[in-house]
Amino acid sequence: MNAKKAVIFKGLAMLALVWALVFAVRSFASSKKITAERLDREVRELKLADWSENPGTGAEAKRREEEIRRVAEMVNRLDFKERQKNRESRTGEQFFSKLSTKEKNLFIDLTIVESMGRFMEALDQMPEKQRKRFVEQGLKEIQEGRTEEEMRRAEEMDGDLLAKISQEGMRAYFDKASADTKLDLAPLMQAMNEVMQGLRGNDFGEPR
C-alpha cells in the first residue's frame, strides 16, 4: 500500500474516532426524533457513580446496564445535525468516562460499531457541495487546534477500545464509502495525519 493510501487508511480511523467517539453519527433519525438537548438532560439526570477504576457488581451493575442500553438507544436516534450539537456539549464524554471497561465495550458495540457504516452512507448521500463543506469545517477545526485536543483525549482511552473503534472506522471506509467520498475526504485525511505527526513525532505509516 502506498504512502497516500496509508494516510487515508489511518486517517479514517482517527476521523471515525474524533467525530464518532461516544455519541456516534447517525444519518437517519427514527420516527420519534431525539434532540441533543433531551439526551444531554437524560444523561445528566443519571448521575452514575464512577466505575472506571473500581467497577461494581450485582443489582447495581444490572441497573447500570439497563441505563446504558437506554442511552445508547437514544444516541442511535440522533440525526447528523443533533449529533453535532451533542458533540459541543461534552456530556457524552463525561458519561463515557465513568463507565467500567466492560460497560464501555457494551456502549461502543451498541452505538459506534453499529453506526460507522451509517456515517459513510450519510457522507455518500450528501450533495457534493455539502460534503465539501463538511471537509472544510474539519480542516477549520484542525487549524484552530480543536481536533488535536480531541485526539489527545481520545488517546487516553484503553488501547483495546481505541483499536476496536479504529478497525470499525476503517472497515466502514473501505466497504461503504464511494470513490467520490474517498476523494473528497483526502485533504482532511492528510491534515489529520499531520496532526498525528505533531502528537507522536511521526506519521501513521503503513498499517500493520
Domain containing 136 equals 1-22+126-199
Q: Measuring CA to CA, which residue among 57, 144, 137, 45 is closest to residue 94?
A: 45
77 touches 23 (CB < 8 A): no
Distance, first Cα to last Cα, the chain: 11
Residue 13 and residue 27 share a domain:
no
Residue 35 and residue 11 share a domain:
no
pLDDT digits (tens, 9 = 90+) for 142-184: 777 666 666 666 666 666 776 676 677 667 777 777 888 888 8
Residue 90 and residue 41 share a domain:
yes
Among candidate residues 82, 110, 138, the one where a domain is terminated? 110
Residue 27 and residue 12 share a domain:
no
Give the angle subtended at the CA of 132 by the CAs of 128 and 138, to the nearest 5°.
Answer: 150
Residue 119 included in any domain: no
Residue 190 and residue 139 share a domain:
yes
Among candidate residues 81, 110, 139, the one where a domain is terminated? 110
Among candidate residues 67, 84, 110, the one where a domain is terminated? 110
* 123: Cβ contacts below 8 Å, ≥ 6 apart: 131, 134, 177, 181, 184, 185
Residue 205 included in any domain: no
Residue 28 and residue 10 share a domain:
no
Residue 120 included in any domain: no
Instruction: State how far the Cα of 194 lies from the Cα of 200, in Å rounded to an integer.
Output: 10
Q: Measuring CA to CA, which residue among 170, 120, 201, 188 is closest to residue 1?
A: 170
Q: Measuring CA to CA, which residue among 159, 165, 42 is closest to residue 101?
A: 159
Residue 177 included in any domain: yes
Residue 84 and residue 39 share a domain:
yes
* 114: Cβ contacts below 8 Å, ≥ 6 apart: 24, 76
Residue 166 in grid coordinates: 479504529
Residue 103 and residue 30 share a domain:
yes
Burial of 105 (0-12, 13-18, 19+ CB in 10 A): middle
Number of domains in the chain: 2
Residue 173 included in any domain: yes
Judge if pTM exceeds 0.95: no
**pLDDT tens, residue order, the chain (208 aa):** 555 555 445 555 555 555 544 334 333 333 356 888 888 888 888 888 999 888 988 999 999 999 999 998 888 777 767 776 766 666 677 888 899 989 988 988 888 766 666 677 777 888 888 888 878 877 777 777 666 666 666 666 666 776 676 677 667 777 777 888 888 877 776 776 666 565 544 343 334 4
Residue 106 and residue 36 share a domain:
yes
Residue 27 and residue 1 share a domain:
no
Residue 96 and residue 132 share a domain:
no
Residue 33 and residue 49 share a domain:
yes
Residue 92 in grid coordinates: 457524552
Q: What is the DSSP letter of 111?
A: T
Residue 63 included in any domain: yes
Alpha helices in the chain (DSSP H): 3-20, 36-46, 58-75, 80-89, 91-97, 101-110, 112-125, 128-144, 146-154, 159-176, 179-200
